[in-house]
Amino acid sequence: VAEGEPGEGREPFELPRFWDALGQTFQVTSQEATKLSLAFSRPPLPSAENCRKLSEDVQNAILAVATVYYWLPKGQGTTLRKMVRDATTEVVEGMIQLTDTILNAPVESLSQEQLISTGGVWEACEQVSNLPRDNQAAVVSALAACLGVVKDAVEEMEHALVEGQDPYGDIMEDEELGFRGNRDTYWSEADRQLLSSCMGLMKASKACLKKVLAAVKAHGKADSPEHIAQLDDLADIANEISPSVDELALSMYPPVNPLAVRLNAAKLASVLKKVLEIAKTSHVCPPSEEGWVQFLTGAVDHNMNKVKNFTQGQL
């Protein structure tokens, strides 16, 4: 049987039943972590028979968690599946850490490490209640996370570009190097003109994610394989925005290399155009949403053309 695909003779997959089963296995695992931790919280040690029983119960609980995860077909959405897989992995790794802590700690009393590890398993098991329930909710969550990272990057660069702001002002002077009189630590007027267009691209990234997120919230559906796949495509390409924004931002610090800035700006512009194209051709963009797609496509082109013009004679 292929990973995550229904086996022969298995009943048709139903999401509500899957969530019930996953919730139960996470709850049982949390209980087994508590039993294991209490058994080794103070002398005397459990008997060999009790140790064997505890080990079996922990192993069965973890196998049940993994088994239920594999019930979730890829057709329900790769974004959803990745989030469930990450939550499942955290539970398994938490239980491994707890077991290691117990094996390596003296049994005289309940150690701080053991308490932390037990709490870690509880926390990982509680995550099941916060997981998105279908691929539309999963993609909303993924896009919101991307938007948060990009917002932070834009704010950081805006702060650094404030008129007269020294981008390295928070770095202490080095006694051996003396005062920073090096031109390479400051932006020239030409640099600032180029960087204003780069900021335009970064702000377009934020606006793009904001609009796509709103469209997925308003129109996104996880009711057919086609709709689920379209949502995954959007999440996959949107995941490329944040690293591209970061690379552009890093190249904007002095000394500015115009070629590096232009290449990173072009990469970000390309990613944004792909996001907008995928959104435009998907079910999340009915005719009512076409206006902002067109506007943002124009904004990306406009700022990228300005970057090209500013760097034309410097390459």
Residues 75-103 pLDDT 10s? 999 999 999 999 999 999 999 999 999 98
H, E, C per residue of the chain: CCCCCCCCCCCCCCHHHHHHHHHHHHHHHHHHHHHHHHHCCCCCCCCHHHHHHHHHHHHHHHHHHHHHHHHCCHHHCHHHHHHHHHHHHHHHHHHHHHHHHHHHCCCCCCCHHHHHHHHHHHHHHHHHHHCCCCHHHHHHHHHHHHHHHHHHHHHHHHHHCCCCCCCCCCCCCECCCECCCCHHHCCCHHHHHHHHHHHHHHHHHHHHHHHHHHHHHHHCCCCCHHHHHHHHHHHHHHCCHHHHHHHHHHHCCCCCCHHHHHHHHHHHHHHHHHHHHHHHCCCCCCHHHHHHHHHHHHHHHHHHHHHHHHHHHHC
Residue-wise pLDDT tens digits, 7-25: 444 678 999 999 999 999 9
- Name the percent of the chain lying above pLDDT 90: 78
115-127 mean pLDDT: 96
pLDDT band at residue 110, thresholds of 50, 70 and 90?
A: confident
Q: What is the pLDDT at residue 7?
A: 45
Task: Quote the pLDDT of residue 194.
Answer: 93
pLDDT at 179: 46
Domain 15-130 belongs to what architecture? Answer: Up-down Bundle (1.20)
**What are the boundaries of each domain within the chain?**
15-130, 135-165+178-311
What is the C-alpha separation between 266 and 201, in angstroms, rounded?
10
CATH T-level fold of 135-165+178-311? I/LWEQ domain (1.20.1410)
Please give the average per-residue pLDDT across 104-117, as a whole number: 81
Mean pLDDT of 136-165: 91
pLDDT grade, residue 109 (50/70/90)? low
Q: For residue 42, what pLDDT is reported?
A: 83
pLDDT at position 2 over 80: no
pTM of the full predicted structure? 0.87
Which one is predicted more confidently, 299 or 315? 299
